[in-house]
Amino acid sequence: MYRTNTCGELRLSDVNKKVTLAGWVQRTRKMGGMTFVDLRDRYGITQLVFNEEVNAELCAEANKLGREFVIQVTGTVNERFNKNKNLPTGDIEIIVDELKVLNAALTPPFTIEDNTDGGDDLRMKYRYLDLRRTAVRKNLELRHKMTMEVRKYLDSKGFLEVETPMLIGSTPEGARDFVVPSRMNPGQFYALPQSPQTLKQLLMVSGFDRYFQIVKCFRDEDLRADRQPEFTQIDCEMSFVQQEDIIELFEGMAKHLFKEIRGVELTEPFQRMSWADAMKYYGSDKPDLRFDMKFVELMDIMKGHGFGVFDSAEYIGGICAKGAATYTRKQLDALTEFVKRPQIGAKGMVYARVEADGNVKSSVDKFYTQEVLQQMKAAFGAEPGDLILILSGDDTMKTRKQLCELRLEVANQLGLRDKNKFALLWVVDFPMFEWSEEEGRLMAMHHPFTHPKDEDIALLDTDPAAVRADAYDMVCNGVEVGGGSIRIHDPKLQAKMFEILGFTPEKAEEQFGFLMNAFKYGAPPHGGLAYGLDRWVSIFAGLDSIRDCIAFPKNNSGRDVMLDDVMLDAPAPLEQKQLDELNLIVDIKE
């Protein structure tokens, strides 16, 4: 061992001990005849002292140390004269009498500090140096702690972690697979799993009863800001359970994690909200409930007064921003521009301020009497000083989604999305199907094995689009952190489901025959859930991007962010020999 202690553990009680430390030079300061070196490792920072008068040669060596040099020192723990209250080791220093440079270092391209001078790209390029920063390392420490706690909790509930294969068959349904050519089976390919869904259902058929796995999954999608081609799921499945059992168990897990990781005791049961209500009141299946600003529908009040935009709208709805009547015209114009951006697509925005005397002053005053505006005010429960913002449109769902974006933007501006506040809920009763314009048919909203709600089964024949599913999402702060469903275990119900989804028996057999065959040998009722670990860690760590809780993330074109090298520069061309062995020809179309 190159050290007797880490750089984070020495205290006043260690004074006069002879110790050996090793680590990185954080900084050096020369003051008169003294040289001070901050020595850093994962555990902390300890101050080293070199005195020119005592040992000029050693002090001269210390003066030659550069930032990020790796050194080993031996010396005596000493009480500091000027204590540093900001460091756990701030009461002591080491009077060094031996110094060994274990490795020199080039000057890093940015400072290894919590507030670094390095920009995003530079830090990603030198990710191995970025990871030295305490702020970044803490995120990965938290990730480690979370997975430890998840395993501890699930183990205590009788779950078994079972590894499922990474090299599996490709499924034509769903997102695009990453594939792996097989050398031993020419012309054939494995796929990397998008999730172990079918494998975990097989484990239920196998009687494993309670399964989990913290597992890498893969999806070859065009990358959006906060997606990675490989991501990690906490994947779970249980037998002989109903929706309520799963919700109870995983709500327990969430509470356990908040307590252990963040010291937050969530004592109340999580709110349950139907998908229909989530859409109606928040325009989203993952509403951010850290703040209120519930949608109010205004069709009854605002239609028929001669304002053409509203009169012809199918939907008129608004939000009330408490105390935001102080918004200037400029701010309101900016909000209007915000909702008119093509990504959001609203035509315009109507606003109304509630003035100190209770009167409502709106941007559409010429169409509405104060009486109507007061009705509107009452509908919002608005008070003097509040700001009402209204959108309308001829497609209810689309307009609700626009209003959702507006609600989140206003909340951002008003500072209502506090990262240290956590609002959790279950969104339940998702629709079983959604209409696909592209395919011209109903598609399974979750997947074709999702169980419809018992009370809606009769609707499968008469009004399938109205059928709700035993499907549920856990939402935290407007982010879907996990979701799942009860699966169908009755072959007749499954056959009906395939029929509604437009599968011929042959096509169902071709695509899902494997699972269907397994089910013939005695499938228990079962259901499960999967959490997105990356997203969940980000929320716990208060991060804006999942990238910050991944040690070596990829950039938006799926490349390793460390771009300037050959070893990790993935992807890269293959050697001809490798292509030949795989029976592949690369044929890039212009």
Q: Which CB sits closer to a copy of itself, 151 or 303?
A: 151
Q: Which CB sits closer to a copy of itself, 239 or 396?
A: 239
Find the shortest distance in angstroms from Cβ 286 to a copy of itself: 25
354 three-class SS: strand
Q: Which CB sits closer to a copy of itself, 141 or 300?
A: 141
Q: What is the DSSP letter of 508?
A: H
Q: Which CB sits closer to a copy of itself, 295 or 519?
A: 519
Find the shortest distance in angstroms from Cβ 39 to a copy of itself: 12
Q: How far apart are CA 352 and CA 320, in angstroms?
A: 9
Give the Cβ contact number of residue 363 at 10 Å. Answer: 16
Q: Which CB sits closer to a copy of itself, 52 or 260?
A: 260
Element (H, E) at 113: none
Q: Closest by alpha carbon to 359, among 325, 407, 410, 392?
A: 325
Find the shortest distance in angstroms from Cβ 518 to a copy of itself: 5
Q: Closest by alpha carbon to 559, among 547, 544, 549?
A: 547
Q: How far apart are CA 398 and CA 474, in angstroms?
A: 23
Contacts 24+ apart (CB under 8 A), 310-314: 310/350, 310/364, 310/367, 310/392, 312/394, 313/392, 313/393, 313/394, 313/399, 314/393, 314/394, 314/395, 314/396, 314/399
Q: Closest by alpha carbon to 53, among 77, 32, 73?
A: 32
Q: Which CB sits closer to a copy of itself, 241 or 373?
A: 241
Q: Which CB sits closer to a copy of itself, 60 or 167?
A: 167
Find the shortest distance in angstroms from Cβ 512 to a copy of itself: 6
184 three-class SS: coil
Find the shortest distance in angstroms from Cβ 197 to a copy of itself: 10
Find the shortest distance in angstroms from Cβ 249 to a copy of itself: 10
Q: Which CB sits closer to a copy of itself, 210 or 446?
A: 210
Q: Which CB sits closer to a copy of itself, 169 or 358?
A: 169
* Residues in Cβ contact with 57 at an 8 Å cutoff, skipping those fewer than 6 apart: none
106 three-class SS: coil
Q: How far apart are CA 482 and CA 529, in angstroms?
A: 7
Structure tokens given for 123: 């830090």
Find the shortest distance in angstroms from Cβ 454 to a copy of itself: 14
Q: Where are the beta strands (DSSP E) in 378-432?
A: 387-393, 424-428
574 three-class SS: coil
Q: Which CB sits closer to a copy of itself, 379 or 518?
A: 518
475 three-class SS: strand
Structure tokens given for 380: 């919002």
Find the shortest distance in angstroms from Cβ 488 to a copy of itself: 11
